[in-house]
Amino acid sequence: MSALRRNVLLVAIAVVTILGLTANAAQAAFEGKATMTTLTVGTITVAPPTELSTAGTNCTRSYYWANGTWNVSTTLHAKVSWKASATTRGVSGYRVTAWFPDGSSYPLGDLDAATTSVAMDVDGSYANQDIRVTVTTLTNYGWTTQSTKSGAFTC
């Protein structure tokens, strides 16, 4: 390639580059319009079970002979009932939990959403330990809420 051709090519590239850099920006306009509907966000409150009751709870004593003496065995027949949660969406069941005076707790079991009472027999030694229970509403979306504590079980 001759020096003349090379110089002409370089000048042509320079002119194209300068024209390209000084060209006006592209013009565009948007004419379409759209309206959006208002978005409403609601909240759900999970209601706890109410009217927790231990009515019907009682104790029985049985006597037995062992090692030459009469012994007594006490059984606590605990009953707990409640009014179902007022929550209308997604309630999947209830969890009954025992609470001890030191603040520790022990889950007694999970029940389906149609169940609003439970009964169980336990050793009577638990009857005078100030044990109380709560019932927790469970939902299929993971939210829960707990009732107030019941009165203490006694014999």
pLDDT digits (tens, 9 = 90+) for 134-150: 999 999 999 999 999 99
Q: What average pLDDT does range 51-71 have in this prediction?
A: 94
Q: Which two tokens stand for residue 18?
A: 């300068």
Burial 32-44 (b: 16+ CB within 10 A, else e): eeeeeeeeeeeee
| pLDDT mean across residues, the chain | 86
pLDDT at position 8: 59
Domains and CATH numbers, the chain: 55-146 (2.60.40)
Choose between 21 and 47: higher pLDDT: 47
- Quick check: pTM over 0.75? no
Residue 101 buriedness (CB in 10 A; 0-12 / 13-18 / 19+): exposed
